[in-house]
Chain A
Amino acid sequence: MKAGLEIHQQLATGKLFCDCPTDLTETATGSVLRRLRATGGENHQVDRAAAFQAARELTFRYEPGPSSCLVELDEEPPHPLNDEALDVALSIALLLEARPLDEVIVMRKIVVDGSNTAGFQRTALVAVDGHLDVGPKRYSIASICLEEDAARKVGEIDHEVRYRLDRLGIPLIEIATGPEITSGAEAREVAAEIGALLRATGRVRRGIGTIREDLNVSIPGGARVELKGIQELRLLPRHAEHEVARQRLLLGVRDGLLARGAQVPSGRISDVTELIPSAGTGALPELVRHGGTVRALSLPGFDGGLRSPAGESERLGRELADYARAAGVRGLFHSDEVPLGPLDAAFADRLRGALGLAPSDAFVLIGARDAATAERALALVRERAAMALEGIPNETRDPLPDGRSRYSRPLPGRDRMYPETDVPPVPIAPSRLERLRASLPERPEIARARVARQHGLPDPIVRQLQQAGDLETFEALAARAHLPAGVARLLTQDLPAAVDIAGEAPVDLALETLDGVLASVEDGRIAKEGIPPVLVQLLRGAPDVPAAIAGAGLAPMSGREDLDALAETIVARNDSVVRSRGVEAFSPLMGDLMREVRGRRDGKEVASALRRALERRLAGPGSAP
């Protein structure tokens, strides 16, 4: 396979074309309803992807709030390009040894799915021809762009999509690699290294959804397919592998169809509503009873070509259904699924008779509330079926959590780009580049080597810290005389575990807070086992470390007596275990005792207390047989 990555990372500056804050918010101060139309650019051409989106005839409800102004609402022209964001993008371009343009021109990229109130996303090419070395291999960086993030989709009912405007206009840097990636694992490595480079600038936003990856995948004889918006690095390999398998399968299906003489479907779409057994059960009879309509399309020579080949999970039928869904229908029925629900063999025969089909032909049925929707859906199915005889269409697909993907729209072409005339072009003066070059951050690989050497940490740990964007925090804490190993453990293990437990929207912990947590361990107020519960309390909003310790139920245990008493209680409570297993009871009881101690004491201390308690019990009067 050949793959290229596009990394989109939000920058931690103000918005790109206005002066709004960039905080995401649950507050909506109003609601505005809009429609969008596909329009042509400089040469009057309507982009295929844009026309496709517009055909859905959606309405959009936008929710303004404290993080948006008239610019996001498309009620005021954009302000000039945010200089600070451009500086960050140029710095990243220099780090990637790319060549900045002489003049940055803001373009409008037509997107009429409602995610941009204007109907286009503003984007500017900043630099080209960079490269990045990951291990022994050099990857080309084709382009570095600065663009505005889209509005945040918060709901969809029927033909109305709801968006919140807080995210719209947050600057994104888009870094596109060349197609030199040859495996999913490699894609993940490259993405991780680019992520580390971005974070090295200290000017990127952190947290869920602030970095998104698009993966462009093709195989020999296949097509360029863009998997858009993968949010987690660890999913890259799975998506890459699945896409390769899907493309291979579809090439196989094409060969099979051609071998059995399948032809480009040109047949007209027929109204078969009358043929649906209206008394039957299932989606189609239900629809017909409620006044819906059912249309059929014949696919000459496609019989057997729509189902999954043996041992495969993907199939052409699913691809056809995805195209149909883009027209706003729930799905479709096809002849390779017979018998299924209302489509029993007898019904299928009647339908074949009515449509005049040969046994080698397939058919597709689509039900909808109105004829126009059904026909639009089947026209898309016909288009997709014709492509199946050619190979694989170039398209944009939405990644699904299980590693599969779903068709989203055709791959947009150059016709969707035209200049944003409301924003003046920005010349990039050589003096500006010199100023930025003089203050570039340390490159990630250099920072890694330095930190590993300075603090005696193994490279994988340093790499882990860096990829999580925690290297700076690590160095700051280590500089406060905490043990490097302890700091690394806090950042790479305890903190992620605590974030998992604390759940959504965790508070970002200040350096002082982390410093306080480490200090509490070092002066014995809590044991290191107590770190995660204390962090959870802090993430949930505990005002300071002492409050978090109290909130976690880790009020200090005074002296050895308390611990011994607790150990005695545990041993007494488990008398039967102690009697049957003797000193072997140590292991099961240690777990119980650690739970009771809840991190207030060091594990070694707890173990010796338990040993003492066991010995006393086994030696005592009640223990003799």
Chain B
Amino acid sequence: MTGPIEGDPWERLRGLAMGQRIEIASADGRTWRGTIVPPHELSGERVIQIKLESGYNVGVRVSPSDRVTVFEAPAPAANGTASRAAPRSTAGAVTSATPTVALLLTGGTIASRVDYRTGGVRPVEEEAEILSFYPDLDRDGPVRVVPVLDRLSEDIVPADWQLLARRVASVFSEGARGVVVAHGTDTLAFTAAALSFLLEELPGPVVLVGAQRSPDRPSSDGFTNLTAAVRVARTAEVGEVLVLMHAGLSDDRFAIHRGTRVRKMHTSRRDAFRSLNGAPVGEVVGDTITFRAEMRAPSGRGVRLDDRLDGGAALLWFQPGLEPTRAEAFAQGLRGLVLAGTGLGHVASVHLPWIRAAVARGTVVVMTSQCLEGAVDPYVYATGRELLRAGVLYAGDMLPETAYVKLLWALARTRDAGAARALFLEDRAGEISPRRDYAEPP
């Protein structure tokens, strides 16, 4: 229906489609003409947002006496002054012999666009959209886009890690040379650790990549991160799970981290990801990929996947004042508990009784350090010795998050606490090391 709206126009206005052209004339003589755009969720009461011809969005508070006119059919999206977002490029140099890289989408900033209604970013839903963001993606060879999840990474759960691991295995068996997983950065390190344990042998690299700026922004780091990740997946002679992100704030250097040794260490910077207890295993500068660490070679036998994970473990961050009853309640019913303790691996000694009881019940209690850098050591202080005697398992230089994932993995492989403890301390994917090189802090 077009034409003027009778009476209080607010209800009618709220029901109109995005892109509908309207005019609002208020009693004081001011007139707004434009198209309806999605309101911001933090917009005020009775405020409608319209996009003016100049491109500005304005918020107009609609009063009952305003005269609103609705015009003919919504304006078409294209107005002739602009070109479509660049179409998918056709790469001339690519031959059928060029190895295929599979790009698995899970959501997250790297595969998100701004949601103009909520004001946040939301994951893209279709393959075409991601290729419209990253038109140069397949410049050096074929890229097979496989949507797996569409979730921001804070919503990802261990079952998603299992699903993802199975997808990685299947795209390898379908002929992919390497795999890139586009993932939200918040929990990317957890997923990287999980894939590291679940994918026991790999015929090529699995590169997790994210972006700290969404791809609807011209400055997104997603463009260069993804390009570099695809290059590593296509060419690196490595059979491991890796994480690739900016090495610094510039768009020309990328760090390659081992999937079990990496952590998001900044809320917003492009170089938020850091390898702890050692340097990144490699880097990409321009077209050159360099590995500094010894890497596991691709397996000649294809993928070996064991996707079992146990749900009965959790991670607890100790703090001064934490009441033992609260911690005990948290540990109730768990088969495994990772403590992120202080310094060399301590919690207040008032916690010893419930820890002793939990271990006696068969709970695997693991100690890691909030320091993140360095290994835990129970022998230096009395509390450590007490905790060790209580049956707490000291996790060396394993990161708390990695230890949590690894405990889910270990518990799924045995019902026996003793066997689980032994499995936990075995180096599976470079997550634990007996020695730490001297290096100047970054």
Contact = CB atoms under 8 A, between A and B. Distances in A.
B55 A415 contact: yes
Contact of B79 (A124, A415, A425): A415
A110 B270 CA distance: 21
A120 B114 CA distance: 14
Nearest to A423: B119
Contacts of A414: 51, 53-55, 79, 81
A75 interface: yes
Contacts of A99: 30
B57 A101 contact: no
A490 interface: no
A387 to B, nearest CB: 14
Nearest to A45: B82
A37 B220 contact: yes
A2 interface: no
A177 interface: no
B56 A107 contact: yes
Interface stretch (B184-192, B196-204, B245-253, B415-423): B245-253
A105 interface: yes
Given A46-B84, A48-B81, A143 B54 contact: yes
A421 B55 contact: no
A28 to B, nearest CB: 14
B84 A32 contact: no
Contacts of B79: 45, 413-415
A119 interface: yes
Interface string B49-62: 10111111111110
Contacts of B133: 39
Contacts of A45: 77-79, 82-85
A40 B216 contact: yes
A76 B212 CA distance: 10
B81 A415 contact: yes
B436 interface: no
A34 B221 CA distance: 9
Nearest to A106: B57
Contacts of A314: none
Interface residues of A, number: 60
Interface string A566-581: 0000000000000000
B219 A36 contact: yes
Given A37-B223, A51-B83, A413-B82, A75 B269 contact: yes
A599 to B, nearest CB: 55
Most buried by A among B85, B267, B269: B85
A42 B114 CA distance: 8
Contacts of B56: 105, 107, 123-125, 143, 145, 417
Nearest to A50: B218
Interface string A412-433: 0111111101001101000000
Nearest to B56: A125
A244 to B, nearest CB: 25
Interface in A18-42: 32-42
B116 A74 contact: no
A339 interface: no
Interface in A40-61: 40-48, 50-51, 54, 59
A591 interface: no
A543 interface: no
B40 A425 contact: yes
Nearest to A109: B55
B218 A38 contact: yes
B57 A105 contact: yes
Contacts of B223: 35, 37
A129 B57 CA distance: 16
Contacts of B2: none
Contacts of B58: 101, 103, 105, 125
Contacts of A48: 81-83
A421 B57 CA distance: 12
A46 B52 CA distance: 18
A73 interface: yes
Given A35-B251, A414-B54, A118 B86 contact: no
Contacts, number: 170
Given A46-B82, A46-B83, A424 B42 contact: yes
Contact of B218 (A36, A42, A415): A36
B108 interface: no
B263 interface: no
A282 interface: no
Contacts of A415: 55, 79, 81-82
B219 A74 contact: yes
B319 interface: no
Interface in B79-118: 79, 81-86, 114-116
Contacts of A32: 248-250
A32 B249 CA distance: 6
Contact of B61 (A76, A77, A103): A103
Contact of A43 (B77, B217, B252, B269): B77
Chain B, interface SS category: loop
A77 B268 contact: yes
A107 B55 contact: yes
Most-contacted residue by chain A among B53, B82, B84, B224 (CB, 10 A): B82
Interface string B15-41: 000000000000000100000010010
B44 interface: yes
Contacts of B121: 421
A39 B55 contact: no
Contacts of A449: none
A76 B268 contact: yes
B135 to A, nearest CB: 9
Interface in A64-121: 70, 73-77, 99, 101-105, 107-110, 112, 117-120
Contacts of A54: 218
A590 B267 CA distance: 74
A232 B236 CA distance: 57
Contacts of B57: 105, 107, 417, 419
A421 B85 contact: no
A450 to B, nearest CB: 32
Nearest to A417: B55
Nearest to B78: A45
B53 A418 contact: no
A54 B114 CA distance: 21
Contact of B43 (A37, A50, A143, A425): A425
Contact of B213 (A74, A105, A109): A74
B40 A419 contact: yes
A117 B268 CA distance: 15
Nearest to B38: A42
A128 B31 CA distance: 10
Interface in B209-249: 212-213, 215-220, 223-224, 248-249
A367 to B, nearest CB: 25
B383 interface: no
Nearest to A75: B269
B281 interface: no
B7 interface: no
Contact of B215 (A39, A47, A117): A39
A102 B55 contact: no
B8 to A, nearest CB: 17
Q: In the complex, which of the residues A37, A46, A101 has the most CB atoms of chain B within 10 Å of its own CB atom?
A: A37
Interface string B112-139: 0011100111000000000011000000
B47 interface: yes
B52 to A, nearest CB: 8
Nearest to B212: A75
Contacts of B40: 105, 419, 421, 424-425
Given A50-B218, A414-B53, A425-B59, 19 more contacts: A32-B248, A43-B77, A46-B83, A51-B82, A73-B249, A101-B58, A102-B59, A103-B59, A103-B60, A105-B56, A107-B55, A107-B56, A125-B52, A145-B56, A414-B81, A418-B114, A419-B37, A421-B119, A421-B120
A-B pairs with the 6 shortest C-beta distances? A119-B218, A103-B59, A417-B55, A414-B55, A102-B61, A33-B250
5 contacts: A105-B58, A112-B218, A416-B55, A418-B216, A421-B40
